[in-house]
Chains A and B, each alone.
Chain A
Amino acid sequence: MSSIDVPLRNGGFGNTMRKDSWWVEPLLVFCGFAAFIVYSTWAALQGNHYTFGPYLSPFYSPLLMTEKPGWWPAFVPFSAAMLILWAPGGFRFTCYYYRGAYYKAFWADPPSCAVGEPRKSYWGERSFPLIIQNIHRYFLYLALVFIVILALDAYRAMWFDGHFGMGVGTLVMIVNPILLGCYTLGCHSLRHLVGGRLDEMSKKPARKQAYDCVSCLNRKHMLWAWLSLFWVGFTDVYVRMCSMGIFHDVRIF
């Protein structure tokens, strides 16, 4: 493309003429993500208090194995969560919304719109390591499987010793796959795969319908991303607190 001679003017981290509180949004994002990462890592490493009655923490679902397998490297701490969390974690890490948000909040690239950056060099997502973000659709395939698994967990949460019932924890477990579904089914990659890649969607009415549905969820992708992130953490907290005897799970019927 054409070159241009524009003298650098901003030249400094945080340099801007903006008068609004531009730092609030990236700060909130930083605090929100940091809190979730710290809590989820801690919870995943605990290896206990992840079940209570018919409830199973989403951090440990599916529960593949509870004992450390022989092939597991000795220097890596084991818990059942370590076997599965990389999949939903990778889906969120490579998500288009999260990428834009954490590039700003954690890497100040840029800290906010029209605000000076701390670094002069920039690679973008064009070369290693961030070119790996293009793997997002593969994590999407896994995330879709996880919604089914978590929906089954919600179904199992309705059965108490073989009897159908409903506790507050059941409601918590039901809301979890719903929010995750709204987030995952509004994914930009899914939007592309179901119909966005076609120039003439009108000739494929089923795909056009699917595209419209995904687009509908996609318009609030950020909202679903945050709600589902919060709720998956809250579900673990609820199960953990019940398991530890701190919360009393109220049976509705």
Chain B
Amino acid sequence: MKTEFKHLQAAHCENGVTTNLLRSVGVETLTEPLAFGIGSGLFFVYIPLLKINKGPAIAFRTLPGHIFKRTCKSLNIEVVRKKFSNKEMAAKFLDSCLEAGQPVGCQVGVYYLTYFPKEYRFHFNAHNLIVYGSEGDNYLISDPVMENVTTLSKYELERVRFAKGPLAPNGQLYYPKENTTVTTEQIKNAIKSGIKRNVRDMLSIPGPIAGVSGIAYTGKRIKQWKNKLGQQKAGLYLAQLVRMQEEIGTGGGGFRYIYGAFLQEAHAFHPIDELMDISKIFTQAGDRWRSAAVQAAGIYKGRIGSQADFDVMGDYLLEIAEIEKKAFQALGKIKWNS
């Protein structure tokens, strides 16, 4: 049993699932950067009180699930989303979707995701993949971060759909409700509202830990890490920052490059020169994030590690906060013609 579905590799899993699912219902002009931008995917938050894998909780993107939800909503596409308390019901519902020819997005945990390399298998429960069919006891899987499609047995799929711990998926699946056509006008509006929402999230979110002020806040905290945490733990914290920024799915530079690509694509819909100029600022921000990562690597590899080195690291983030502030302020000032 196989649904009509085309696998396209993406940088990020949720972008990829969103793009591929919407393309399968007829939104053929959608690309990964468009999905990311329309879903206002760019973000920054550092939650000092929360620990992930014993390190700092840092994210460069918006909450899991939001990109799909917002993109569909902006394009006026109705979504079916279901969670299950019963594993058999979850499998049955999935099978009935596939029988009806509907590819389905699933939230899964990666710890038991057998095709991932061992080094990547942490208890992280917000990965997304698409089930697009079944063959005997195996399900056909399109994992958007991979070049090629793969399979999971019935048991393996059940195990990752019912992974436990923070953000437990509870068998969650989702898909766009029906085939639809999306007009250019709708995409134009969705781009506009996606940018406006992202400006609001990055510039006006209350509190010091999120948005551009969160980046500056993190920069200031990093300067204290050596003293507060000790050399080894401070190094591990920086390693975690780099992983959140560069690991699988970010497209490099903590999603800043994907956002730059989005603004260029947005320009094709809204021929406003500023969009191209601001895209360059995001490229610059991504480049600075990567320079910061190189500095961080010097510290966690033990090549450098003086207080001055931590200060340089913190200053990178303070500088990036200014760059991104400028970029989002410029986006906020754009005069949309339509």
- The answer to whether A binds B is no
